[in-house]
Structure formats: structure tokens, C-alpha cells
Amino acid sequence: MNELRREPVTGRWIVTYLDRIPTVKDFKIESNEKKGEATCPFCWGKEDQTPPEILVHRKYGPPNSPGWTLRVVSNKFPALRIEGELNKEGVGVFDMMNGIGAHEVIIEAHEHNRDTADLSYAEAEQVIWAYVSRSVDLRRDKRFKYILIFKNYGKIAGASLEHGHSQLIALPIVPKRVQEELEGAATYFSYKERCVFCDMIREERDEKERIIYEDEKVIAFCPYVSRFPYEVWIMPKRHASDLTGLDRDTVPCVAKALRDTLLRIKKYLGDPAYNFIIHTSPINGHDREDYHWHIEIMPKLVKVAGFEWGSGFYINPVPPDIAAKNLLSVKLEETK
């Protein structure tokens, strides 16, 4: 018998299979082998093929030349553009505005073949710091209301370039999905006086069944209501609504949790495509008691089809406790 599970923040229902659990082979995971190094605009020596760097960590060399270890540049083909004034108008029953925003690319390492899963802890930390410092900078622009940071890894997850990179988009509005999450969390808070995410952490720690990483500051688990097989959420254990509030002690823990989780996924599932998204509060959100920033990692193992589109339900054939057990079975070598 399958089970329907509901998540209290967004009210999303998930159908969890309790029989016929697929193995790794059943997912027919497509190879993410990287073949495009010769023409890659994100490798050393191709710095002139991207807009100039906004933020960089370098070992040597002048700006926009080889020698860097992490590089942030504007997206050459942005979904939204940074120049101009924000204009809004009505078009019949619809609303329209011009596409003001910032769209940046965080190139995580100079080597063509190294994904977040392959970084050292120190390199992964650099990536998290880049997210924080670009967010802090863009928050000053009064036109923006939300900063969305995400990664598409692999073609079927929407990556158009192979070279490991994440993206940041600053938006002139708080997007619908974020609004829904904020409202759900606020409703929960209004009748419990507690953060729903803090309650989730408490529950995961009590049950211990689905945790795949834990240290003093950070926890990672396959949530009880996982939309996708092998979905993992990473959260700071202390309540914090915003990524930009991250302190020096927590950044290495977030980096380690993210790196280790992605490496477990890569090794157990055979390098599948995935998306991860940083869920954080809007720019003028102050310190919210009711919202808790976190990272959601979604391996792309199943197709989203008509049922999901029509209902907002998700069918997950791998119960999260099994997913956690499988991910934990991976041996990670010690890395610094």
C-alpha cells in the first residue's frame, strides 16, 4: 500500500511507494561525462569569453586571466538585465514589467571536470562565501526583492554548460514559490509560536532514521516528505532566516555538508544530474522568527509528468529512510 504524506510548509502531498522500491539500475541514469573542454568558456585561458569578473579568488595573474580558483561573472545571456529602471504596467487582465535583475554565474573551480562533489572542503567553503558576499552586495540595490541561488548539474537538470557552476539571480519581486513557503511557515508559527523548520530538525534528530550528515552547526537529511528519490535538505541547526547572516564558524560546516552530500549522491547513484536551490528569506525580511534558510538538493532520477504538473503531488518511489541508508553506505575518504 502506498502512503500519502503532507509537508506542513507548502502543504504539498507526496505519494511514497512502500513496495517495489527501485534500485540504482532501474533509474537508467544518463552519463554526465564531460566532453566539451576544448570549447568551454569557463576554463583557464578563456576569460575573454565571459563578461569581466565581479569576484575572484586567484593564486596568481592579473584580473580576467588564468590563475584563479573561483570566479564570479555576469551571465552572458541573462534572463534579466541589470540596467534600467523598473517599469510596471497592466495589460488587460495581466501584469507586465520589464526584465530588470542581475544574473551571475559562480564558476566553482578552474578545472573543467570538477563538480561541487569533487571539491576539497576549503574550495567548497570558497563557493559558500561567494554566495554570501554576492548576496550581501546585491541586497544594496533597492530595485531587488529576492536573491535566488541555485545549481543545475547535468543536461537533464537544465545545465547548458558542463563546467561546474552555480547561478545567482536577483529579482525585482519575491517569487511565488518563495511566497508560498513564507506564508506556510508564517501560518505554522502563528498557531505554534515555533519555527516549522526547527520542529522538523527536532523530529529528524529524534527519529535518527533519515540523517546523513550532522555536526555542531549543520544537519543534512532525506526529508520525511521527499518529493524526489534521494532528495536531501541541508539546514543550519540554529535558527536563522537568511543566508547572509552566516557566520565564520558555520560556513565550513555548510560547505562540508554540501560537499559530502553531493559526493554521496555521485558515488551511490553514479553521477546523476541534479539541482540544488538555496531557500532564504527575501531581502527586506529582517530576522524572521518563522522562516529558516536551507538548501534543497534534488537529484534528477525520475521525470516530472502530467500528474505532477496537474496536481502538485509528487510520486516518490524511494522512501526517504531507505535513501538515507543507501547514501550512508558510501565510504568517503577523508579530505581537507
Please list the active-site residues: 165
Residue 3 CB, shortest distance to its own copies, in Å, is 6
Residue 180 in contact with its own copies, rule: CB under 8 A: yes
- Do 94 and 58 touch, CB atoms closer than 8 A? no
Closest to 278 (Cα-Cα) out of 177, 164, 138, 185: 177
Q: In what order do the strands lie in the sheet with 146-153?
A: 53-58, 68-74, 102-107, 165-171, 146-153, 274-279, 294-299, 232-236, 218-221, 211-214
State the residue for C-alpha cell 569578473: 53
Among 43, 128, 178, 212, binds its own copies (CB under 8 A): 178
CB closer to its own copies out of 226 and 326: 226
Residue 58 in contact with its own copies, rule: CB under 8 A: no
Residue 62 in contact with its own copies, rule: CB under 8 A: no
Calpha distance 112→36 (Å, rounded): 9
Contacting range for its own copies; rule: CB under 8 A; set: 120-128, 130-138, 177-185, 240-248: 177-185
Q: How far is CA 235 from its chain centroid?
A: 12
The helix (run of H) or strand (run of E) holding residue 167 is: strand 165-171
Residue 205 in contact with its own copies, rule: CB under 8 A: no
Residue 58 CB, shortest distance to its own copies, in Å, is 27
In the region spanning residues 90 to 109, those forming contacts with its own copies, defined by CB under 8 A, are 91-99
DSSP code, position 100: B
Residue 324 CB, shortest distance to its own copies, in Å, is 16
Q: How far is CA 307 from its chain centroid?
A: 24
CB closer to its own copies out of 56 and 316: 316
CB closer to its own copies out of 66 and 172: 172
In the region spanning residues 290 to 329, those forming contacts with its own copies, defined by CB under 8 A, are 298, 303-307, 309-313, 315
The helix (run of H) or strand (run of E) holding residue 53 is: strand 53-58
The values of phi and psi at residue 161, to 5°, are -125, 140
Contacting range for its own copies; rule: CB under 8 A; set: 4-12, 111-119, 131-139, 249-257: 4-12
Q: How far is CA 192 from its chain centroid?
A: 28
In the region spanning residues 17 to 46, those forming contacts with its own copies, defined by CB under 8 A, are 20
| Burial bucket for residue 20 (CB in 10 Å: 0-12, 13-18, 19+) | exposed
Among 55, 82, 161, 173, binds its own copies (CB under 8 A): 173
Residue 237 CB, shortest distance to its own copies, in Å, is 17
Residue 1 in contact with its own copies, rule: CB under 8 A: yes
- Do 203 and 224 touch, CB atoms closer than 8 A? yes
In the region spanning residues 131 to 170, those forming contacts with its own copies, defined by CB under 8 A, are 146, 148, 150-152, 155-159, 167, 169
In the region spanning residues 211 to 270, those forming contacts with its own copies, defined by CB under 8 A, are 224-225
Calpha distance 237→252 (Å, rounded): 14
Residue 312 CB, shortest distance to its own copies, in Å, is 4
CB closer to its own copies out of 11 and 36: 11
CB closer to its own copies out of 52 and 158: 158
